Amino acid sequence: MPEMQTEENTSDGVVCETVVEIKNADGLHMRPAMQFVDAASRFDCDITVSSAGNSVDGKSIMQMSMLAATCGTKLTVKAQGADAQRAIDALRELVEVKMFNEPPPKEHGKH
């Protein structure tokens, strides 16, 4: 079931916004941050990611990694530009479905 998603048309083009949750065990450490930035950079639209009151450029690895999003953190991803919708879809796929090709947290009691 998709998370809440908004879409509007302004003079700057399409603006899309969605909330994604970090699901891999180790969170948004360096390699996932790199994958996120690489995916975001493939689109022309501007991408802003916010968490806990901080808003950063989704195409900057420095800023993304400094969000230090751990497993379970919810990120608000906002894209603005012609290909905003495609960007949002791709980033959601990476974070929530592929989970950066990393394992989810182990269930309790299975050590």
Partner 1 sequence: MEIKKGIAVSPGISIAKSLIIDSEDYRIPRRSIEPSQRMAETKRVGKAFKEAIDELTKLEMGQEIREQRKIKDIFAVHLRFLRDRSLRKKITDLIGSERVTAEYAVSLALREIASHFTRIKDAYISERAADIHDIERRLLRRLLGGKKESVGNLTEEVVVVARELSPTQTAGFNKEFVKGIASDAGGKTSHAAIVARSLGIPAVVALEDFSEIVGGGDTVIVDGNRGIVIVSPDDETLRQYQEYSREFALLEHKLDGIREKPPVTRDGERITMLGNIEFPDEAQMVLQKGGEGIGLYRTEFLYLNRPTEPTEQEHYDAYAETIRVFKHRPVIIRTVDLGADKYTQSKRFMPEPNPFLGLRSIRFCLQNLTMFKTQLRAILRASVLGKLKIMFPLITNLQELKQTKMILRDVMEDLDEESVKYNGNVEVGIMIETPSAALTAYTLARDADFFSIGTNDLTQYTLAVDRGNEQVSTLYSNVDPAVLRLIRTIIQDAHKAQIDVAVCGEMASEPESVMLLLGMGVRTISVAPPMIPEVKQIIRSVTIEDCNSIARKVLGMNSERQVSVYLRDAARKVLPEAF
**Binding positions for partner 1, rule: CB under 8 A:** 26-31, 33-34, 37-38, 57, 60-63, 65-66, 68, 70
Pairing of strands 74-80, 13-21: antiparallel
Residues contacting 69, CB < 8 A, separation 6+: 22, 27, 28, 51, 75
Nearest CB to partner 1, comparing residues 14 and 64: 64
Nearest CB to partner 1, comparing residues 18 and 65: 65
How far apart are alpha carbons 25 and 46 in whole angstroms?
Answer: 28
Active-site residue among 19, 21, 29, 68?
29
Beta carbon of residue 66, minimum distance to partner 1 (angstroms, whole number)? 6
How far apart are alpha carbons 109 and 111 in whole angstroms?
Answer: 6
Nearest CB to partner 1, comparing residues 7 and 44: 44
Whether 29 is catalytic is: yes
If you ran DSSP here, which 8-state letter would residue 68 be given?
A: -
Beta carbon of residue 101, minimum distance to partner 1 (angstroms, whole number)? 11
Residues known to be catalytic: 29
